[in-house]
A = this chain, B = another copy of it.
Amino acid sequence: MPTRQMTSFVLPVPVTAEKPSLQDNTADLDRLRHALRGRLPDARPLEIPFARIVPLCRRFRQAGFSGVALVNDLPDRWVLADFLPEWPAQLPAMALDLGTTHLEATLVDLLTGQVLFAAGCENSQIEYGADILSRIHQATSVRRQVHEVVDPSFIDPGLAVLRHSIVACINGLIAELASGSGVAASDIRALSVSGNTTMAHLLLGLDPFHICREPYIPMVNVVEPMEGRELGLILHEAAPVWIMPSIGSYFGGDLISGILASGLAATEQTRMLIDVGTNAEVVLGNRDWLIACAGAAGPALEGGVARMGMRAAPGAIDFVALDPETYVLEVRTIGGAPALGLCGSGLIDLVASLYLARIIDIRGKFRDPDQESDPGRAAFMRERLVVRDGQRAFVVVTASEAGADDEVLLEQIDLDAMIRSKAAMYAVLATLVGQVGLAFSDLTEICVAGAFGNHINPQRAITLGMLPDLDLSVYRAIGNSSLQGAEQVLLSRSARQECLDIVSKITYVELNVNQDFMIRFSGARFIPHTDPSLFPSVPVFAEEKG
């Protein structure tokens, strides 16, 4: 049996006890408890949940009073969860990134840290509302009519519907992970969940009513692990569920997970983490301090802004190049599938390319082909710029090019939203850095999380003035850090502790009431910026100045 120090969420502990006799008629459970005494790594109290007593005693007896106890490692106590006759071949646990639109999960072996299987699916709650606010609306169907609820245990029927929906959705993932790894769902011994504050509330059945109402108070930010059965999940009954703690209504456990995964709070160097999901969430700091903000005015580059916007999924245009000399337009879709829309990185590529090719001006407005002096550009503009609903639009892919029924368009309204988004993003970053008296050049690394981070070309984002004009080596795409953080807490006690430390350490800056942010936001509503000296690597076209 392994001897190295394990600190996973569930700890297997070899136990051998004397068999009962007339000379030693200790009760079964007391026998197990005594045998475990001193076998645990520290003196935290050992709890045996009432519901576990019968199965524990039976399994202990069936195993001949010798085997392996499975003990959940909770922050302030051990919890005896199960008893196995022998050392297990593997100890599967599930990490879950509970996104507003999408769920991603992995099954991890707690004994080795290996990922056994991965699966994902759409968030089934989308049926009841695409975004957080509409979900809260749905979950407070009664509360919106009756201001104060008299029965303290009252559960809004709307909330119950959403909770059942997400529980069924997660149970589907559990079943998929289990069958994909050849284990039973009840063999999954732990779960960690990274989600924003509202998604966590909806899973836990907590009233989200005050989350979206000033002063924006969640019911819970830090919650003790509960058992899988308490949530209605088909994991092992006593599987502990780690809900990533959150900081506030708009700064959720998904980002705490990201801070953990990026190692931001663990190094001496000051670094930055950018997570662009439904909101843009940004954290700045090092092992001594952390400051964060979430852009409620964020860019929402994950498909919500542009009319043709979509998630980074097959058929999404994730790469666009437009040669500013030849006007050759190159478009690539994820999986090479027929183009369906633009994901965030495709949108950034496209707008940056349109700017560099001078199809749009510094305000992000389509230029008038009739005012264009360059004949090649004028011809391209006439070919690609169309008028739809009285507004100019750029045909990214024609219907015939797309091999689909619909063309993929970038409309002026999309462009305007894009400019607001990129301006908000830059203003968020600049405000945060300014708050602590630093400059962008003081940052040794900027981690960009999520599908956004995986797909965007930082150079193009710099061209737009969305990201600061730093050496490209400063930017690091770290992937789904929400899921990675969830995996880490399954495997390491110090990771679990770090999550709690992050919560108590972090300073949250509310941007909605921040004057500095509003000024910076206005200044950033040009490409790349009203002050082009901030972006020396980006060409500025003289004729359009002023």
Contact = CB atoms under 8 A, between A and B. Distances in A.
A414 to B, nearest CB: 33
B20 A54 contact: no
Contacts of A210: 28
Interface in A42-70: 45, 47-48, 50-51, 53-59, 62
Contacts of A436: none
Interface stretch (A98-106, A148-156, A172-180, A355-363): A148-156
Contacts of A325: none
A374 interface: no
Given A22-B513, A54-B207, A230-B51, A27 B220 contact: yes
Listed from nearest, the 8 A-B pairs whose CB atoms lie closest are A45-B76, A50-B226, A58-B152, A55-B152, A27-B221, A27-B218, A29-B220, A22-B215
A21 interface: yes
Contact of A53 (B54, B56, B217, B223): B223
Contacts of A248: 25, 27
Contacts of A386: none
A220 B57 contact: yes
Interface string A245-258: 01011000000000
A217 B21 CA distance: 9
Q: Which of A24, A53, A246 is packed against the most chain B CB atoms within 10 Å?
A: A53
Interface string A263-288: 00000000000000000000000000
Interface in A198-214: 204-207, 210, 214
Contact of A25 (B28, B62, B217): B217
A27 B219 contact: yes
Given A76-B45, A77-B76, A248-B25, A152 B219 contact: no
A206 B59 contact: no
26 contacts: A20-B215, A21-B215, A22-B214, A22-B513, A24-B215, A25-B215, A25-B217, A26-B217, A26-B221, A27-B248, A28-B218, A29-B220, A30-B221, A47-B224, A48-B224, A50-B223, A50-B226, A53-B219, A54-B206, A54-B207, A55-B152, A57-B206, A57-B220, A58-B207, A62-B148, A77-B77
A224 B78 CA distance: 14
A181 B256 CA distance: 51
Contacts of A149: 58
A87 interface: no
Nearest to A231: B50
Nearest to A248: B25
Interface residues of A, number: 57
A255 to B, nearest CB: 16
A510 interface: yes
Interface of A: 20-22, 24-30, 33, 45, 47-48, 50-51, 53-59, 62, 75-77, 148-149, 152-155, 204-207, 210, 214-224, 226-227, 230, 246, 248-249, 510, 513
A160 to B, nearest CB: 12
A481 to B, nearest CB: 23
Given A54-B206, A55-B152, A222-B30, A45 B217 contact: no
Given A20-B215, A53-B204, A76-B77, A220 B30 contact: yes
A253 to B, nearest CB: 12
Contacts of A155: 54
Contact of A217 (B20, B48, B75): B20
A45 B230 contact: no
Contacts of A154: 58
A391 to B, nearest CB: 38
A248 B152 CA distance: 42
Given A53-B206, A224-B50, A219 B153 contact: no
Contacts of A227: 50
Q: Which of A25, A218, A224 is packed against the most chain B CB atoms within 10 Å?
A: A25
A23 to B, nearest CB: 8
A56 B223 CA distance: 13
A318 to B, nearest CB: 37
Contacts of A77: 45, 47, 76-77
B50 A219 contact: no
A87 B81 CA distance: 38
A507 to B, nearest CB: 13
Contacts of A219: 27-29, 53-54, 57
A59 B154 CA distance: 11
Given A22-B215, A53-B220, A76-B77, 15 more contacts: A25-B216, A25-B249, A27-B220, A27-B248, A29-B220, A29-B222, A50-B226, A50-B227, A53-B204, A54-B152, A54-B153, A54-B205, A54-B207, A57-B219, A58-B154
